Amino acid sequence: MINPARLHSDLSRLGRETAMFEATAASLSEEELRAPSLCEGWTRAHVLAHLASNGRALVRLIDWATTGEEQQLYPSREARDREIDELAALPREELLRRLHESSAFFAEQSERLSGEPAVESVDLHGKEIPVTSIVALRISEVVVHHHDLDTAWTIEEADPDSLLNAVEAAVRTMRAKGAPGMTLVTEERDEWVVGDGALRVESDREGLLAWLARGDGENVEADGPLPALPSW
């Protein structure tokens, strides 16, 4: 059974991160929404569209966790991309409304995780996700993509535990995609081993996340050359 106190804490943090993301989104003009984001090939509108789509898609992991019946987020990668493109093309007010409704729907459906899960973990693109981490997965999406909007908001404004969720999600992806061996250490005393752990990489959570998620190694130190990483 998922600890009710942990679920409440995770949902509270998700609410705060989402509120900040939506405030940033609402501050953007139609023209600003059509400008490039830090996600290669995506405008800011695509980032909002992705979170709007993702909020509803992740509910399928909740369905899997609570029923035991395997679910896929999307029928295919092409279907996912098509949905994001369609949402991104919506007028500003409609896109903001879809984003808000999706975020509220995910939070509401997450309350179902308070019971005894039917399975202990679910699979997401080859990554094993404990059912206790489904809400944390959504938090990581919100935090990383808030950064991707490339506005006055900075990743340092995220809750420390939300940053931890985001780094853990990035590490999970590195392991699933066969990233080079690394031992990742933060100033906050977190540590993760990827592969054989050969290369020691150090930073704070913000710096490590910026490197793992978007390849920005400016604030990362290592005892050897930084490797190219698989996309997150």
- pLDDT reported for residue 1: 63
Please choose, from the candidates 88, 114, 112, 102, the residue with its C-alpha nearest in 3D space to the C-alpha of residue 33: 88
At 174-222, the pLDDT tens digits run 999 999 999 999 999 999 999 999 999 999 999 999 999 999 999 999 9
Mapping DSSP to helix (H, G, I), strand (E, B) and coil, where does residue 28 land?
Answer: coil
Q: What is the pLDDT of residue 231?
A: 81
Task: Tell me the C-alpha distance between 158 and 64, whole Å.
Answer: 29
- The length of the chain, given as a count of residues: 232
**β-strand 182-186 against 191-194: which pairing, if any?**
antiparallel
Identify the CA nearest to 45 among candidates 36, 33, 60, 59.
33
Can you list the domains of the chain with their CATH numbers?
Answer: 4-153 (1.20.120.450), 170-232 (3.30.1050.20)
Comparing 94-98, 123-127, 129-133, 178-182, the range with the smallest average pLDDT is 123-127
Mean pLDDT computed over 38-51: 96
Q: Note the Cα 183 to chain centre separation in Å.
A: 22
- Dist CA 48 CA 232 (whole Å): 17
pLDDT digits (tens, 9 = 90+) for 153-180: 999 999 999 999 999 999 999 999 999 9
